[in-house]
Chain A
Amino acid sequence: MSSRPSLRSERRWALWGSYAALALFAVFFLTPPVYMLITSLKTSAEIGGQAGSPWVVRHPTLQNYLDLIGNPHFRVFFFNSLKVTLCVVAVSMAISVLAAFSLARMKFWGSGVLAAGVFLTYLVPDSLLFIPLFQIIGKLGLTNNVWCLVLLFPTLAVPFCTWIMIGYFASIPKELDEAALIDGASWMQLLFRIFIPVALPGIIAATIFAFTISWGTLLYPLAYLYSSDQMVLTVGILTELIRGDVFEWGRIMAGSLLAAMPPVLIYVFLMDYYIAGLTAGATKG
Chain B
Amino acid sequence: MEERRVAETLRAAGAVAASSAPWSRMSPRGGGLRRFARRRSSVAVLLCLPLLALIGGLVLYPALYAVWLAMLNKHMTRFVGLGNFLFLLHRPAFQAVILQSVIFAVSAVVFKALIGFLLAHLLHAVPGRSQRVWRGLLLLPWVIPLAMSTLGWWWLFDPSYSAFNWVLNVFGVPSVPGLGATWWARFSVILVNVWYGAPFFMIMYLAALKSVPEQLYEAAAIDGAGAWARLRYITLPMMRNILSITILFSLIVTFANFDIVRILTAGGPQDQTHIFATYAFVAGIQSGDIPLGAAISLFMLPILALGAVFVLRGITRRSAEQAG
Contact = CB atoms under 8 A, between A and B. Distances in A.
Interface of A: 14-15, 18-19, 21-22, 25-26, 28-33, 35-36, 39, 47, 50, 53-55, 94-96, 98-99, 101-103, 106-109, 111, 114, 116-121, 123-136, 151-152, 154-155, 158-159, 162, 172-173, 176, 179-180, 182-185, 187, 189-190, 193-194, 197-198, 200-201, 212, 215-216, 218-219, 222-223, 234-235, 237-238, 249, 252-253, 256-257, 259-260, 263-264, 267-268, 271, 274-275, 278-279, 281-283, 285
B140 to A, nearest CB: 6
Interface residues of B, number: 112
Contacts of A194: 9, 12-13, 16
A198 B125 contact: no
Contacts of A99: 47-48, 50-51
Contact of A180 (B13, B59, B203, B245): B13
A279 B204 contact: yes
Nearest to B134: A22
Contacts of B281: 127, 130, 219, 222-223
B89 interface: no
Interface in B32-71: 40-41, 43-45, 47-48, 50-52, 54-55, 58-59, 61-63, 65-66, 69
Given A32-B153, A223-B285, A162 B51 contact: yes
Given A98-B48, A123-B307, A155-B59, A33 B17 contact: no
Interface of B: 1, 5, 8-9, 12-13, 15-17, 19-21, 23-24, 26-27, 40-41, 43-45, 47-48, 50-52, 54-55, 58-59, 61-63, 65-66, 69, 115, 118-119, 122-123, 125-126, 134-149, 151-153, 155-156, 158, 161, 163, 166-167, 195, 198-200, 203-204, 207-208, 211, 242, 245-246, 249, 252-253, 255-259, 262-263, 276-277, 280-281, 284-285, 290, 293-294, 297-298, 300-301, 304, 307-308, 311-312, 315, 318-319
Nearest to A193: B16
17 contacts: A15-B126, A19-B126, A25-B138, A39-B155, A102-B44, A132-B62, A135-B290, A158-B51, A185-B20, A187-B40, A201-B5, A212-B145, A218-B258, A218-B262, A222-B262, A264-B140, A282-B315
